[in-house]
Amino acid sequence: MTHQDAQATSDVVTVSFIGLLGMPVSSMDFNLIVAIPMGVSVVTSKMLRDCLVMIGYKEMPVDLVLLDLQDFDIILGMDWFASYHASVDCFGKMVIFSIPGQPEKGFQGFLAYVVSNESDLKLEDIPVVRDFPEVLPNDLPGLPPERKMKFTINLVLGTTPISKTPYRMAPVELKELKSGYRQLRVRSDDVPKTSFRTRSGEEHERHLSIVLQTLKDKQLYAKLKKCEFWLDKVYFLGHVVTKDGISADPGKFIKGFSKIALSLTKMTQKGVKFEWFDDYGHSF
């Protein structure tokens, strides 16, 4: 079973630091996908349970997920702060723990790393792209112009628009459903239209200029914070694309997945009688 921590709230300890703690490593019953502050997602199934965080006189236990990090030894996530009713005073540079029923004490602390979801990318800092500010405006200038080709979807007579989903859907499920179109296979005849390959930065610069100039001429627009330019590495559908070729994304690899999913594989085979055994529960 794989669980995704979509909100990046896990408490994390680095592999190189656990030797100093001298605590046993436990295995979880599932693989956890964690989004870390460095902007990538990694998979883990190991953790340290009941580690004691000492702040002044107060012991605050925490379960730490084991990850291979470089920048920090330990990261305490929002779940830990919330469990101890913590609030961050950015102006006063203080973290305040208001634990119900506990006396108030003061200790000095420091914020080491603050992550913002907002992109700090500026248009004027991107080569080539900065020459086409009309294509990436902060606000659209108005309605798009009339086009020669008009796209329409012809509905069956009597069809009415769907006003609600056919069944109740969790927000995470709805988000996954909306993003599913990226997993659709492109028709083989259309693949050359949707991708291109360059051998040098100069060639890429020329292609990028052509694309942006075409968007400008046709009065089409893009959103800057949803675009990425001049990348050395691209993650796409479980693969990593670089100048050296295409490789599997190590962050998506789940060690021993065929063994984990063995019970599900057996139960879904054609003509096999459905039988449930106690050890099957470890796969879900």
Q: Which amino acid is at 162?
A: I
Contact 195, 234 (CB under 8 A): no
pLDDT in tens, 62-105: 888 887 766 677 888 887 888 888 888 888 778 888 877 777 66
Q: Please name the residue that has the structure tokens 């069809």.
A: 159
Instruction: Give the lowest-confidence range in 21-35, 139-153, 239-253.
Output: 139-153
pLDDT at 37 over 80: no
Q: Which residues of 189-208 are buried (b: 16+ CB within 10 A; e: fewer)?
A: eeeeeeeeeeeeeeebeeeb
Of the chain, the end-to-end C-alpha distance in Å amounts to: 5
* Nearest by Cα to 132 from 75, 205, 240: 205
pLDDT in tens, 42-58: 777 788 888 888 877 77
**pTM over 0.85, yes/no:** no
pLDDT at 60 over 80: yes
Query: Rounded mean pLDDT of the chain?
Result: 74
pLDDT at 259 over 60: yes
CATH number belonging to domain 2-97:
2.40.70
**How far apart are alpha carbons 280 and 284 in whole angstroms?**
8
- In terms of pLDDT, which residue wins out, 44 or 242? 242
Please give the pLDDT value at position 7.
Answer: 40
Domain ranges of the chain: 2-97, 119-156+197-253, 257-284
Please give the pLDDT value at position 3.
Answer: 45
**CA of 9: how far to CAs of 34, 37, 78, 110, 197, in Å?**
8, 10, 5, 19, 38
